[in-house]
Amino acid sequence: MQVVIVTERNEALHEFAQGLGGDVEWAKSAEDVLGRAKTPPWQLVVVDAMTPGMDYKTFVLDLLRVNAMLNTVVITDMGEEAFHEDSEGLGVLCAVPANPKWDDGAKAMNLLCVLYGMG
């Protein structure tokens, strides 16, 4: 599976990206991803809400307007219940902790594989 991670924290998220497996691309800006989202090579977009200036809800809403078929994962420091309430209706696959590790990536990819009937 092909994944793009929108972040400025490439090094800090390296272990997480390895857990995702597949083909991981890094993007520094939401605009870059939105500009290519109409016919993307990715099945998953990971948005790092910990990136300064990143409003994950605005980004996910904009992404939905461009291509509602893309799946999203959000990296956040919100608790599970608070995130669920905050992101309701956005169709986010899952949230992962602010400093995700390999197993967080593997869990997110497993959810995606189940969604695609591959797990």
**C-beta of residue 106 within 8 angstroms of C-beta of residue 19:** yes
Q: How many helices (H) and strands (E) does the chain have?
A: 5, 5
Cα separation, 41 vs 92, whole angstroms? 19
| pTM of the model as a whole | 0.95
- For residue 88, give the CATH number of its domain: 3.40.50.2300
75, burial (CB in 10 Å: exposed 0-12, middle 13-18, buried 19+): buried
Distances (CA, A) of 55 to 15, 48, 50, 111: 24, 9, 9, 24
| pLDDT tens, residue by residue, 91-118 | 999 999 999 999 999 999 999 999 888 7
Note down the domain range covering 83. 2-115
The count of domains in the chain is 1
Residue segments in the chain with a per-residue pLDDT below the cut of 50: none
